[in-house]
Amino acid sequence: MTNPYAPPRAVVQDMAAAPGQLTPADRGTRLGAQILDSLIFAAMVYLPFVVVMVMTAGFAPLMSENEVPQVFGVAGLIALVGFGVWLWLTITYLKRNGQSIAKKLVGIKVVRADGSPASVGRIVWLRNILNGFISIVPLYGLLDSLFIFGESRQCLHDKIADTIVINA
């Protein structure tokens, strides 16, 4: 005799995504890519500035008043060159396949919600710059990040830009 109060039972098999079907990127992979992108940016822009400043700090007492601003200028110029290289690489990868440097390394990319390629403008302006301005609102950054736990795996910045992050 079957129990009328028992929960329904069904056999469910995991299925791989059908060809052409979009597979959302794992939450951990997205987090890893975000952290890696931040580290890459820091290594290309901030690290050269800090290295030049630390290397010359021991010589500061030996420098004249005119040489100290020159060191800041050189460090700033090196950081600016690093920023230029980072920007060129990022825009190149975004144009090619909707990927940042780290997204390319971990094998994920940004596309429109319908699967079509996302434009560089959509990614930069809506996902990054507009989201940065909205982040002025207290706790928005936390709320934006927590949306990743929804069924669609879209953060608020993805919803704003009508994009999803998928396996490349």
pLDDT digits (tens, 9 = 90+) for 68-123: 678 888 899 999 999 999 999 999 999 999 999 999 999 999 999 999 999 999 99
User: How open is the CA angle 128-134-135, to the nearest 5 degrees?
Assistant: 85
Could you tell me the residue ranges of all domains in the chain? 27-167
- The backbone region for 83, taken as left when phi is positive above 0, alpha when psi lies in -120 to 50, beta otherwise, is alpha
Radius of gyration in angstroms for the set of CA atoms belonging to the chain, rounded to a whole number: 23
Q: Could you give the maximum distance between any two Cα atoms of the chain, in Å? A: 95
Confidence at residue 12, expressed as pLDDT on a 0 to 100 scale: 57
Q: Please state whether the predicted TM-score (pTM) of the whole model is above 0.85.
A: no
Confidence at residue 57, expressed as pLDDT on a 0 to 100 scale: 75
User: How open is the CA angle 81-73-88, to the nearest 5 degrees?
Assistant: 10
Long-range contacts of 27-33 (CB under 8 A, 24+ apart): 27/148, 27/149, 27/153, 29/106, 29/107, 29/108, 30/108, 30/148, 30/153, 30/165, 32/102, 32/106, 33/100, 33/102, 33/103, 33/105, 33/106, 33/108
Task: Indicate the average pLDDT of the chain.
Answer: 89
User: Residue 25, Cβ neighbours under 10 Å: how many?
Assistant: 21
The answer to whether 129 and 161 are in contact (CB under 8 A) is no
More confident residue, 143 or 6: 143
